[in-house]
Structures are given as structure tokens and as C-alpha cells.
Amino acid sequence: MQGFEAGGKLDIADVDIGLCNLSNARLHRGIFNNVSFGKLEAFNSVLNESTFLNINWPKGYRIVEFDSDIQTQIDDGHMKANSPELRINMYSRIVDTYCQLKNLCLKQNNKMGALRFQAHELNFTYKITRIRLFKFGVRGFLENFSDGAILFTNWLFSDFGTSWLKPLGALILATFIYTAVLAGRHDLGFTILWNPLDWGQHSCDAWHAASEIFFRLLSPVRGETLKTDWMKESVNIFGPLDFFARIFTSYLIYNFLRGTRKFNFNI
């Protein structure tokens, strides 16, 4: 169907398609019902007026992102030789395709599919932002730094909202490191023994003190029972450090909740 334009009514139902090439297609009000796509190529297509029902999307909800001419350039190693503007243009078309597919899923209340397509959409948005960050001089870096930081942390800590394990793991690791830093500077009732063979040397009181500090640091809201000398150090690095630790903890908790609620709530 490459370059296809549906002037009348396109109705495809009850078929398995190994490779469906919709590149440069204009489907208008086409209907796909009970269709299984092995691979879907939809570069530079207009799909948002169509209806997709009971669709088995390609594995990982990933389409064939580039048309054959661009894929040839990638395979030959010529992509890096292209100008930043050309790469942004190509990536923007992929972003638009994933955005259309996301909206098609939302029309059918398929929030899981919409979330998966949105993750790919944001991935290419991040690629565009990186080009603008590093290929357009100081001004481009300053103008796109905030967007780049948001997209980078979104990818790093949650895979664009599709993972709950990554923010949970990051939260536990960051809190453990913060606890170890504080224990190395203040007497909190325990010391960090890095060799697991030495952990048996801790008393029950030390384990209790360490657990209390660790689990309270997991929360950005701290109770009065954590009032120790290190919390009073507002004039040195630990005052600002604790402030940013609370922000970082809140961000990771948000991403954890976002990942666990992806089946039930809006993306």
C-alpha cells in the first residue's frame, strides 16, 4: 500500500499481514478490524482518521521506523554524515507516526498500547532534543537543556513511564548511598560494613537504627524522630544535599507510581 490514497472506503478485516507497508499512505477513513501485523511500515503516513479495531500490533509496539531509502543510509553508515536538520526532519516524521498510533489506541481505550507507542514517541523526541543540544552551539544547548534533562531522566529512571522496577531500584540504591554517607560523617548508632562477611558483627540495636534511618530517608516527608545533628547542618553541604535528596526521592516515587498504574489510569 505504499503511497496509497483511499479516496473511497478501505475496509480490511480478519487477516494476518506479515509486512504491511503504509509508507506515504493517505488512508482517510480506512477501517482495519481483527488484523495482525507482523511488521508495520508507516513512515510519513496519515492514519489519524482511520479506525483500528482488535489489532495485534507488531512485537514491542515498534513499527519499521524508517523507509527503505533511509534504512539503506543507516546500514551503509551514512546517517551520521547527514546534516542535523535532515536528521531532525526524519525523526520528527517518526515522532508524528507514533503519536498517530498512540491516539488511535486511545480512541479505542487501549491505554496499554497508547503507553507503548508513547514511549517510542518520546524516545525519538529525546533523539531530536540531543541533536539540538549538541549540534547547534551554546545557544542550542541552553535553549534545550531543560527539555533534555527531563527526557533523559524520564528514560533513565522509568523507560518513559513503562517500568516500575527502574525507579524502585534507583530509589533503594540512592537511599542506601545517602544513608552510608551520613553514617560515615555522624554517629547514627551504626557503621556501614561493606564486606558482607562482617555484617554479623552488627548488634540488633545497630540493625534497628540503620533500618529506621534507611526507611525514613525513603520518604521525602521526615518525622521528628529523625532530628539528629546532621539535619541541623543548614550552613554546610548536608543542608542543600538533604533538600535535593527529598526532591529526587519524590521524583522516583512519582515514577514508581506512574509505572504501577499504567494499566488503569491515563498516560
Q: Confidence class of residue 35 from pLDDT cuts 50, 70 and 90?
A: very high
pLDDT, tens only, 220-243: 886 554 555 555 554 455 667 778
Residue 11: strand, helix, or coil: strand
Q: Select, from the ranges 15-29, 65-79, 114-128, 205-219, the one with the highest average predicted confidence (pLDDT).
A: 114-128
pLDDT-wise least confident of 18-27, 137-146, 180-189: 180-189
pTM of the model: 0.81
Query: Beta strands 31-41 and 11-21: pairing type?
Result: parallel
pLDDT value of position 234: 42
pLDDT at 148: 95
Q: What does the alpha-carbon distance between residue 20 and residue 35 come to, in Å, rounded to a whole number?
A: 11
Give the DSSP H/E element, type plus range, for residue 52. Answer: strand 51-53
Domain-wise residue ranges, the chain: 11-157, 165-260
Cβ neighbours for 84, distance < 8 A, ≥ 6 positions apart: 131, 132, 135, 136
Residue 238 to residues 31, 50, 242, Cα–Cα distance (Å): 60, 56, 6
pLDDT of residue 138: 92
- Model pLDDT, residue 235: 42
What is the distance between the alpha carbons of residues 103 and 117, in angstroms, rounded to a whole number?
9
Query: What is the mean predicted confidence (pLDDT) over 95-116?
Result: 91
Tens digit of pLDDT for each residue in 152-168? 999 999 999 889 999 99
DSSP sequence for 158-185 = HTTTT-SHHHHHHHHHHHHHHHHHHHHH
pLDDT score, position 213: 84
For the stretch 54-99, pLDDT in tens is 999 999 999 988 766 666 666 666 666 568 888 888 899 999 999 9
C-alpha cell at 132: 539540538
